[in-house]
Amino acid sequence: MRPVSYSGIGLHSGEELSLTFQPAQPDTGVIFQRVDLPGKPEVPARIEWVTGTSQATSIGRGGAEVMITEHVLAAIYGLGVDNLLVELDSSEPPVGDGSPLVFAQLLQKAGIASQGVPRQYKEIASPVHLIENGVALFALPSDSLRISFLIEYEHPMLRSQFASFDIDPETFLTELAPARTYCFLDWAQELRRKNLVRGGSLENAIVVGPEGILNPTPLRFPNEFVRHKVVDLLGDLALLGEPLRAHILAVKSGHAKNISFVRKLRQEVAVKEAFDISEIERIMPHRYPILLVDKILELEKDRVVGIKNVTINEPFFEGHFPGHPIMPGVLIVEAMAQAGGFLLLHKVEDPEGKVVYITKIDKVKFRRPVKPGDQLRSELKMLKYKKGLCVMEGKAWVEDELVAEGEFTAVVVER
């Protein structure tokens, strides 16, 4: 893609602001950059940097804040863009017409290109829910992203609306991107009294009064209100950092509950992460010659995959067995246990100050020898976890062949 810019009025400031989309390298993610501040600080579009959810979603880091992120993020997420630098010359992007359409069109103008790197998706294995004060959000397992939303108001001109969409670029552009933000007249008047929404007008929001819609132009969709709620939720879901595969059902939710739900999803979904040897040594107490994990290939909520590259230089091959070297079975079990220990330590506070003790090993079976040149892949799944005590099912593989398996009970103690 090429850099593209857009200028327009800021919703809160009422001043002329500009935004520029700049291409970014693979694995960068989406980053907002405040080019108006000294040092041009960056704020990653991730859930850990959320600073506010009043009327909109704000993020910030190191004194740099970006307000009203959801429309920009919805356009980026809805069009399937993973890596992007968003330059801003203010604390908010231009409001446009109150929808993400201008940002989606800007991305199309820039040209969205494949970077030759497979997309990494977040997935859920079982339902996740949040129910608080009449608001409900659910995430159900799915092979793609779908959002279903129900809104309900006690207002004579707007009672309830429902919409459900599979989220893909074509659907986003035609069915969701044009949907504008909205508010009730008394809400707008209250915000004006607080010296907010100074740039708000009937050109960038649908305003609903006691007698009906105040805008001179008609609605773009009969259910434009709920469609915009889908847009807002999509923008908040973008803060997970990677695309999500799930069916999201929302009832009467807004930014505050959306963000609470995204935080819960962050804890629950299968987040795949890789850790190199330096990160392993930071967490694990083991060292040569007993450290038997070279890399953590995947780390999820209740699952871990660890790699051990087996070479002829391993100290145990000197005596096991000379002329016929095979990896001792107890060390295959130890490699699985260490990978499981890494998983367990990531579930507790201050992991550097803790150590994992194996209290029981059960159901161990060895399927075939492990030899120099093999890459041992340990896969551990947590079956039970309570207050630092867990039961894990472990399997060790070489390529696609199962070489060992067993069940581990372990406990976390102070180091």
Is residue 158 one of the residues assigned to a domain? yes
Instruction: Identify whether residues 81 and 179 lie together within a single domain.
Output: no
Reported pTM: 0.68
User: Residue 123 — very low, low, confident or very high, per pLDDT cuts 50/70/90?
Assistant: confident
- What whole-number percentage of the chain has pLDDT above 70? 99
128-132 and 42-44 beta bridge pairing: unpaired
The pair of three-digit structure tokens given for residue 113, joined into one six-digit string: 């290109």
Instruction: Identify whether residues 300 and 374 lie together within a single domain.
Output: yes
CA distances from residue 289 to 313, 335, 350 in whole angstroms, order as listed: 11, 12, 25
pLDDT of residue 341: 95
* 286 is annotated as an active-site residue: no
Among residues 214, 239, 268, the one where a domain terminates is 268
Is residue 117 one of the residues assigned to a domain? no
Whole-angstrom distance, CA of residue 157 vs CA of residue 16: 33
Residue 316 pLDDT more than 80?
A: yes
Among residues 90, 110, 130, the one where a domain terminates is 110
Instruction: Identify whether residues 137 and 261 lie together within a single domain.
Output: yes
Instruction: Identify whether residues 252 and 282 lie together within a single domain.
Output: no
- Residue-wise pLDDT tens digits, 128-161: 999 999 999 999 999 999 999 999 999 988 999 9
Instruction: Identify whether residues 261 and 313 lie together within a single domain.
Output: no
Is residue 225 one of the residues assigned to a domain? yes
SS3 of 8, please? strand
Instruction: Identify whether residues 126 and 264 lie together within a single domain.
Output: yes
Quick one: average pLDDT of 327-356? 92
Radius of gyration of the chain (CA): 26
CB-CB neighbours of 314 under 10 Å: 18
Residue 270 pLDDT more than 70?
A: no
- Residue 112 near residue 1, CB atoms below 8 Å: yes
pLDDT of residue 296: 92
Whole-angstrom distance, CA of residue 66 vs CA of residue 58: 6
pLDDT of residue 272: 52
Instruction: Identify whether residues 67 and 128 lie together within a single domain.
Output: no
Is residue 331 one of the residues assigned to a domain? yes
Which of 71, 320, 324, 346 does the annotation list as catalytic? 320
- Residue-wise pLDDT tens digits, 155-197: 988 999 999 999 999 999 999 999 999 999 998 898 888 888 8
- Residue 208 near residue 87, CB atoms below 8 Å: no
CA distances from residue 200 to 8, 89, 96, 185, 228 in whole angstroms, order as listed: 12, 19, 10, 12, 17
Whole-angstrom distance, CA of residue 88 vs CA of residue 86: 7
CATH label of the domain that carries residue 105: 3.30.230.20
Q: Whats the size of the chain, residue-wise?
A: 415
Instruction: Identify whether residues 258 and 174 lie together within a single domain.
Output: yes
Instruction: Identify whether residues 74 and 186 lie together within a single domain.
Output: no
* 320 is annotated as an active-site residue: yes
* DSSP secondary structure letter of residue 351: G
Is residue 115 one of the residues assigned to a domain? no
Among residues 82, 110, 138, the one where a domain terminates is 110
How many domains is the chain built from? 3
Instruction: Identify whether residues 157 and 226 lie together within a single domain.
Output: yes
Whole-angstrom distance, CA of residue 219 vs CA of residue 226: 12
Nearest CA-CA partner of 24 in 44, 8, 6: 44
Instruction: Identify whether residues 102 and 181 lie together within a single domain.
Output: no
Domain with 56, as residue range(s), is 4-110
Please report which helix (H) or strand (E) contains residue 278, including its range.
helix 277-283
Is residue 116 one of the residues assigned to a domain? no
∠ Cα 261 264 267 (to 5°): 155
Contacts of 165 (CB under 8 A, 6+ apart): 146, 147, 171, 175, 176, 230
User: Residue 89 — very low, low, confident or very high, per pLDDT cuts 50/70/90?
Assistant: very high
Residue type, 104: A
Residue 332 pLDDT more than 70?
A: yes
pLDDT of residue 53: 92
- Residue 163 near residue 172, CB atoms below 8 Å: no
Residue type, 215: N
- Residue 415 near residue 354, CB atoms below 8 Å: yes
The pair of three-digit structure tokens given for residue 265, joined into one six-digit string: 């999803």
CATH label of the domain that carries residue 260: 3.30.1700.10
Is residue 30 one of the residues assigned to a domain? yes
- Residue 375 near residue 305, CB atoms below 8 Å: no
Is residue 17 one of the residues assigned to a domain? yes
244-251 and 135-140 beta bridge pairing: antiparallel
Residue 281 pLDDT more than 80?
A: yes
Instruction: Identify whether residues 67 and 196 lie together within a single domain.
Output: no
Which of 12, 71, 228, 255 does the annotation list as catalytic? 255
CATH label of the domain that carries residue 298: 3.10.129.10
Whole-angstrom distance, CA of residue 415 vs CA of residue 335: 20
- CB contact burial 318-335 (16+ within 10 A = b; e otherwise): eeeeeeebbbebebbbbb
